[in-house]
């Protein structure tokens, strides 16, 4: 008789009173003659029911082997409503990966947050890919010296830097696969990318062992220098590279813009939460895959056996889905292959998802530990029931599983057990606190910034079919002067206003000229979304270099305002709108020892306008408090969107004394334009 069946009988016997002679006798018989075990189980169940224990109303789940192992425990095994014992799992059950499914709110993330500190205490750190910004609370559960939260703003990782021990050629190969999978590049684009990256590596001596790695800026500069006749094959390949890498450069600018990123050894020794909130699926998949490639290359170097790390992938279907798996014409790609190769390197995945029916078969088949929480969608429940070989009544229970409860099955527990996660509470950890903690930890990590040189475009071999090589030198013409003069005159202009002034230049050509001028740092282009419908409007301003080019005195023409170009343009837009309504305004007006973004001056008083692009920043509240102190009779906080307004409102309502709140108003940018 299989052990677990006997264990189950024993659990029933315990409920009935294991010291009663007749029960002992039944158990003994069942052990000697395994064929009779099912009959004894029935007998025990009947006895239990007679005593009012409603086991029979619940689908029968096993209780697993009783041999106590001091493993991690996700919770307590239930028999009916009774907690029988702690469910103990050898950490090794996770080295062949775990899958946690359940609809949203069923308690998946809580279960993971319960498990991770237990692994950390055993010296097994986790990397958590966190799309909902909910894992920072682990700061209070894990030794802070072994815990980090990384955001796209604080992470440093140059994807063109090969990991230690991986040859540049080999790294290029892995990068190409990654890009093929996450960006859905076709062979043409991949070959073009390969040529460019090889060229960049060769130019910088990386192929000869140098460590002057190129960065994303160099890649984008090279792509920008290439030009193909529209409509040709290569122009299509080129365009998809330009789109993807430009968006990558914009979204992960802080992370990618470095020569050398953080040392992997330091990250792999810690539990790291990678914040993914706000990333598009493609950017997010690129980022996650890059991290996985790095981790795998690092772990490859030492082949100690057993589980050494966990990688938690929330919303697994975004990375592991049919769309990506159908991309492999031959063999499995990096993403799906990762389940197999990572196991060999001591890395266990914990996949979490709310729609198991969206997960491809290879993933479901390749996990050892399976956790099923409540699933209301019939298709999803059925999929899991099938994958786990559940009985009909067990499967019927899936949509009814109460919160915190979970069906578990693994090689050690072939018969599914039902367990309950303990009631957990997590103390709140604010973004600021997580940030502060990580900043001090990151300050000790080694990385190398880019020296502010201009990106180097690589020459890569012979021109490709349809390629027109653009010379790197300037080809300034009359239009350039005209553009500079128009910008100097108005301070800033939207591209459409600018094109309207150019007379006989087509918008298409004008845009090309603007791109070239931007590349040569004569103008700055700043796309701004003001919360109105349609695409963001792009504004252009003249740079100092641009003023020199046009022979103008920059100090005389520069825009009033402070902060990022975006902020300066918004200040001027706002001032312009107020002025055109006949008001007297000043930009960067000094009051109470601090500059106010825009001030409207009236005979009987003044209003302060504060433009807040980053509602989370602590200076938001500070600005308002100081403006109140300075005696403005109205302080208007202007944000770009409603979400930003809600966030600033929250903060300001908490910080400003109520009798003064009447002076604070909130407006959205679009209310002015």
CA distance 179 to 181: 5
Q: CB-wise, 109 or 648, nearer to Mg ion?
A: 109
Candidates 37-45, 416-424, 549-557, 562-570 — which segment interacts with ligand ADP by CB under 6 A? 416-424
In the list 102, 163, 261, 333, the residue contacting ligand ADP (rule: CB under 6 A) is: 102
Judged by beta carbon distances under 5 to 8 A according to partner kind, the member of Mg ion, ligand ADP, none in contact with residue 102 is ligand ADP
Residue nearest to Mg ion (CB): 109
Strand pairing class (309-313; 271-275): unpaired
* Residue 106 touching Mg ion (CB under 5 A): no
Q: CB-wise, 109 or 297, nearer to Mg ion?
A: 109
Judged by beta carbon distances under 5 to 8 A according to partner kind, the member of ligand ADP, Mg ion, none in contact with residue 580 is none
Q: What is the DSSP string of 178-245?
A: HHHHHH---HHHHHHHHHHHHHHHHHTTTTTT------HHHHHHHHHHEEE-TTSHHHHHHHHHHHHH
* Residues of span 422-441 touching ligand ADP by CB under 6 A: 423-424
Strand pairing class (72-79; 309-313): unpaired
Q: What is the DSSP letter of 668?
A: E
* Residues of span 392-411 touching ligand ADP by CB under 6 A: 403-404
Nearest distance in Å: CB 276, ligand ADP? 15
Q: Which helix (H) or strand (E) holds 441?
A: helix 431-442
Nearest distance in Å: CB 660, ligand ADP? 36
* Residue 116 touching ligand ADP (CB under 6 A): no
**C-beta of residue 416 within 8 angstroms of C-beta of residue 395:** no
CA distance 98 to 351: 6
Q: CB-wise, 309 or 375, nearer to ligand ADP?
A: 375
Q: CB-wise, 131 or 360, nearer to ligand ADP?
A: 131
Q: What is the DSSP letter of 62?
A: B
Residue partners of 578: CB distance under 8 A and separation at least 6: 585, 598, 600, 672
Strand pairing class (347-353; 82-89): unpaired
Judged by beta carbon distances under 5 to 8 A according to partner kind, the member of Mg ion, ligand ADP, none in contact with residue 185 is none
For 410-455, where are the E strands, in sequence order? 417-420
CA distance 237 to 240: 5
Nearest distance in Å: CB 647, ligand ADP? 21
Q: CB-wise, 406 or 542, nearer to ligand ADP?
A: 406
* Residue 109 touching Mg ion (CB under 5 A): yes
Nearest distance in Å: CB 133, Mg ion? 11
**C-beta of residue 272 within 8 angstroms of C-beta of residue 287:** no
Q: How many CA atoms lie within 13 A of 550 on its CB side?
A: 25
* Residue 251 touching Mg ion (CB under 5 A): no
Residue partners of 647: CB distance under 8 A and separation at least 6: 615, 616
In the list 73, 93, 109, 565, the residue contacting ligand ADP (rule: CB under 6 A) is: 109
How many other CB atoms sit within 10 Å of the CB of residue 302?
Answer: 9
Which of 96, 639, 112, 125 shows the shortest CA–CA distance to 410?
96
Candidates 421-429, 434-442, 573-581, 602-610 — which segment interacts with ligand ADP by CB under 6 A? 421-429
CA distance 204 to 293: 23
Nearest distance in Å: CB 151, Mg ion? 19
Q: CB-wise, 411 or 424, nearer to ligand ADP?
A: 424
In the list 93, 106, 368, 639, the residue contacting ligand ADP (rule: CB under 6 A) is: 106
Judged by beta carbon distances under 5 to 8 A according to partner kind, the member of Mg ion, ligand ADP, none in contact with residue 251 is none
**Beta bridge partner(s), residue 79:** 82
- Residue count, binding to Mg ion (CB under 5 A): 1
Residue partners of 565: CB distance under 8 A and separation at least 6: 524, 526, 541
Please report, as ranges, the residues that interact with ligand ADP according to CB under 6 A.
102, 104-110, 403-404, 421, 423-424
């Amino acid at each position: 008789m299989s052990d677990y069946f006997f264990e189950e009988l024993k659990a029933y016997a315990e409920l009935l009173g294991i010291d009663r002679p007749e029960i002992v006798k039944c158990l003994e018989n069942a052990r000697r003659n395994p064929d009779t075990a099912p009959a004894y189980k029935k007998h025990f169940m009947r006895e239990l029911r007679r005593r009012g224990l409603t086991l029979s109303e619940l689908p029968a789940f096993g209780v697993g082997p009783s041999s106590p192992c001091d493993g991690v425990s996700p919770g307590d095994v239930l028999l009916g409503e009774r907690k029988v014992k702690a469910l103990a799992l050898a950490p090794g059950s996770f080295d062949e990966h775990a899958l946690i499914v359940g609809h949203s709110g069923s308690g998946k993330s809580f279960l993971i947050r319960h498990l991770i500190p237990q692994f950390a205490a055993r010296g097994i750190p986790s990397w958590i890919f966190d799309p909902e910004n909910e894992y920072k609370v682990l700061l209070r559960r894990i030794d802070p010296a072994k815990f980090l939260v990384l955001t796209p703003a604080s992470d440093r990782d140059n994807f063109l830097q090969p990991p230690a021990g991986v040859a540049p050629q080999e790294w290029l190969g892995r990068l190409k696969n990654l890009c093929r999978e996450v960006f859905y590049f076709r062979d043409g684009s991949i070959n073009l990318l390969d040529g460019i990256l090889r060229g960049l590596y060769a130019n910088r001596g990386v192929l000869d062992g140098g460590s002057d790695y190129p960065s994303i800026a160099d890649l984008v500069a090279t792509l920008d220098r290439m030009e193909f006749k529209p409509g040709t094959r290569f122009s299509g390949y080129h365009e998809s590279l330009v789109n993807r890498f430009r968006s990558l450069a914009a979204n992960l600018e802080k992370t990618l813009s470095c020569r050398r990123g953080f040392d992997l050894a330091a990250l792999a020794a810690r539990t790291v939460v990678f914040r993914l909130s706000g990333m598009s699926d493609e950017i997010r998949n690129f980022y996650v895959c890059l991290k996985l490639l790095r981790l795998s290359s690092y772990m490859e170097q030492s082949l100690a056996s057993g589980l050494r790390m966990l990688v938690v992938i929330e919303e697994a279907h975004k990375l592991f889905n049919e769309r990506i798996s159908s991309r492999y014409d031959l063999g499995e790609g990096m993403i799906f292959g990762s389940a197999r190769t990572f196991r060999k390197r001591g890395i266990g995945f914990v996949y979490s998802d709310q729609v198991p029916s969206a997960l491809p078969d290879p993933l479901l088949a390749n996990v050892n530990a399976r956790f099923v929480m409540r699933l209301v969608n019939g298709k999803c429940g059925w999929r899991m029931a099938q994958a786990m070989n559940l009985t009909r009544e067990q499967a019927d229970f899936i949509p009814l599983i109460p919160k915190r409860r979970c069906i578990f099955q693994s090689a050690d527990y072939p018969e599914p057990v039902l367990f309950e996660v303990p009631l957990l509470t997590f103390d709140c950890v604010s973004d600021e606190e997580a940030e502060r903690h990580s900043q001090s930890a990151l300050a000790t990590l080694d990385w190398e910034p880019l020296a502010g040189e201009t990106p180097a475009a690589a020459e890569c071999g012979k021109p490709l079919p349809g390629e027109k090589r653009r010379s790197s030198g300037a080809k300034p013409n009359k239009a350039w002067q005209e553009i500079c003069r128009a910008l100097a005159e108005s301070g800033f202009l939207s591209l459409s206003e600018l094109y309207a002034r150019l007379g006989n230049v087509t918008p298409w050509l004008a845009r090309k000229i603007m791109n070239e001028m931007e590349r040569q740092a004569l103008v700055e282009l700043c796309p701004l979304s003001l919360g109105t419908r349609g695409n963001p409007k792009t504004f252009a301003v003249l740079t100092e270099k641009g003023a020199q080019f046009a022979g103008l005195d920059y100090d005389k023409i520069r825009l009033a305002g402070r902060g990022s170009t975006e902020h300066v343009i918004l200040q001027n837009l706002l001032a312009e709108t107020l002025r055109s309504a006949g008001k007297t305004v000043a930009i960067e007006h000094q009051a109470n020892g601090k500059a106010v973004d825009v001030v409207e001056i009236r005979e009987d008083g003044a209003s302060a306008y504060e433009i807040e692009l980053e509602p989370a920043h602590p200076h938001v509240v500070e600005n308002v408090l100081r403006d109140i102190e300075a005696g403005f009779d109205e302080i208007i906080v202007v944000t770009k969107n409603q979400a930003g307004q809600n966030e600033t409102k929250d903060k300001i309502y908490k910080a400003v004394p109520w009798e003064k709140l009447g002076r604070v108003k909130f407006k959205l940018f679009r209310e002015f334009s």
